[in-house]
Amino acid sequence: SQVGAGESLYGVVATGASTSLALSNVRIEVVGAGSGTNGRSGDAGAPAPNSCAAGTSGANGPAGAQGAGADVGAFDQTGYVPAIAAAGGAGGAADNGAPGGAGSCVQCGTCGDILLNCPFIPNAEGPSCGKDGSHGCAGGSGAPGGPATGGGSSIGLYAWDATVTVDGGRIRSGDAGNGGNGGSGGPFGLGTRGQAGTATELCIVKCEVGVVDCVATTARGDGGTAGGDGGIGGIGGAGGGGGGGSSFAIYQGGAGVVTTSGGASLLHGKAGAGGGPAGVGAGAPGAAAPRVP
């Protein structure tokens, strides 16, 4: 049958202080254990919203912390127990852009009769103002990557608190399972750009007496300067790698005692490699030996 992910395999298991087992010229062959599964990738940061409160700097968010890789697994009366890797950290929040500049205003109107010295007649609706500049909004932060699971161990004879004698024969364990790789952190969400405000249409703002007619001066309300861009959200930290399993022909634990004689052959496979990423996220490798201890 197919070996499950991270599954540990045992040829013979003897547990309990009242258990006594004698093996004579027995051949035990164990296949390779299951490798761990990779961690789930983090979700991407959300895109920036259409509107938001102004920030101060538009700074980008810091990256999330790298999750620690799993340590070496342990053994107890139930068998091999893989250590647990840590998830990565969420990306840090980015800052919204600084406020834009205010638009300027002009008083629009019309020119009166030249016979009355071209008086300026303001429009009743009041000043005409350019739009304020707008600031950008920050993008969302990436979600953390999930932790990987550890590889299983392959053990020919597992004795915990039991007494076992092995006379002749052969015990061989298979290759241990490798630890899975930690999931990658979610990518950042992009921020939006600050925009300059739009100006008003030209209008009459001043009237003077000309040679034959009134002379009008035109102007517009200028738009405000663009606000700051919104920052980029921090990327999520990757999850920690799973630990590698171990390969032992004989594992003796607790108060167990295993005695070999008659030229018993003890062979083992390869130790499982720890999963990535490298550095603090690396899972610990397993071990391989004819017997422990």
CA-wise closest residue to 237 among 168, 166, 145: 145
Please give the pLDDT value at position 150: 99
Which are the contacts of 243, defined by CB distance < 8 A and separation ≥ 6?
Answer: 36, 69, 70, 71, 72, 73, 82, 83, 85, 150, 151, 179, 272, 274, 275, 283, 284, 285, 286
| Structure-derived torsion over alpha carbons of residues 170, 174, 176, 178, reported in degrees to the nearest 10 | 160
281: three-class secondary structure by DSSP: helix
Q: Which residue is associated with the tokens 């899972």?
A: 283
Domain positions in the chain: 1-97+140-187+235-293, 101-134+194-227
Please give the pLDDT value at position 118: 97
**How far out from the chain centre does Cα 266 lie?**
43
Please give the pLDDT value at position 187: 98
| Structure-derived torsion over alpha carbons of residues 23, 16, 179, 146, reported in degrees to the nearest 10 | 160
Return averaged pLDDT per consecutive 10 residues of the chain, 293 residues in all.
Answer: 95 98 98 98 98 98 99 98 98 98 98 95 97 99 99 99 99 99 98 98 97 96 98 99 99 98 98 97 99 97
Please give the pLDDT value at position 286: 99
pTM for this predicted structure: 0.86
In what order do the strands lie in the sheet containing 163-167? 20-24, 163-167, 257-261
